[in-house]
Amino acid sequence: QVQLLESGGGLVQAGGSLNLSCTASGLTFRFYTVAWFRQAPGKEREGVSCISWSGMSTYYADSVKGRVTISRDNAKNTLYLQMDNLKPEDSAMYYCAANYMSSCSRARYGYSYWGQGTQVTVSS
């Protein structure tokens, strides 16, 4: 059974930092392209960042470019998202997603597995 478990969310002031983690089980992590999505109340779920299964390709949404860094540790089956200089508009539920040996995609349908999410709230 595949499980993706996110952690690291919380309440932070604008300008602060958070480091999100997503630990995978039930799959061979190194063969999966993994991504972070976020969804704020009343808004569509949007792709934030992605790193390919090979680690050779990454994607960042324009809204976070220069402020977030995605990385993966295949030995620990874990995906990370380091977020700096957070803004109130970054407040959302953040989800981890995975898909087998695919290219990075900003679309929800590009991913087979999803976590339950971790809440990020940025106060002004």
Contact 98, 34 (CB under 8 A): yes
- Residue 74: per-residue pLDDT: 98
Tens-digit pLDDT string for the chain (124 aa): 999 999 999 999 999 999 999 999 999 999 999 999 999 999 999 999 999 999 999 999 999 999 999 999 999 999 999 999 999 999 999 999 999 999 999 888 989 999 999 999 999 9
- Please, is 33 exposed, middle or buried when counting C-beta atoms within 10 Å of its C-beta (0-12, 13-18, 19+)? buried
Q: What is the pLDDT of residue 19?
A: 98
